[in-house]
Structure 1
Amino acid sequence: MKNSTKGLLIGLGATVVVGTIIVSSSEKALQKIESYMNRKRAKDFIKEKLNGNDDALSVVDQLSDEEISNLLKIVDKIGNLKGKINVYGDNVKDMAEDFKHTLHGYTETVKEKFDK
């Protein structure tokens, strides 16, 4: 094999190795950044919703990255349900009010029948 071919193969191999290292290190960096952001988001949630409870904040520090991620998924789902419950809650209030008026009307009708 010619020296130029060997040099080209060595250069290509080195490029592949360096590229693999860069990609794997960037994935690790992205994971670290995502972990940091999730942990900060969990702490912000505790500060906002739990008035900065120190015990809850210390628990967040002890949780694994996967546990933090699962916790945030649960918080997001609860937030989505809360919005839906508010919509349904208004409908339930209206239906309860209608039912109350209907029941009151029936009560008045029954009283009138027994009063006669």
Structure 2
Amino acid sequence: MSNKMKYVEDAMNSDVSVAIKYVHKFEEMMQNHLEKSFAIAVTGVYEANMILKKLNVSATIYSITTDERFKQLENGALILTDDETIANKIKEQLKEHTDFIYSPVLAAIGISILEDNVAVSK
């Protein structure tokens, strides 16, 4: 079984508190890949803009689906910042708006794509 299928099955069959680990791992991998201190995954660019406007803060929005490698992912965006205070405020907003939290299944697919790209580049 490929990593992609293994991760997806685990994310789909796990309790939410376990499945969310895929979102956190994807965020960590993307912040390293994009060389930012914090990357917070949300459902889309629209939602990312809503959060930033509500908080009245500035951060970079990275649309996951515009990256050729992630074309198979249906949606998603990362809010990128080097400011820990802003990152914490965004995470607090996600606690209030849980429907903005990125899908663990899509995050699992993203992890497998990143792992495959690292393996190919070596």
Which protein has the bigger helix share? 1
Q: With the length of structure 2 as denominator, give the TM-score of the two structures.
A: 0.35
Q: Which has the higher contact order (CA 8 A, sep 6+)?
A: 2
Find the structure with the greater CA-based Rg: 1
Which protein has the bigger strand share? 2
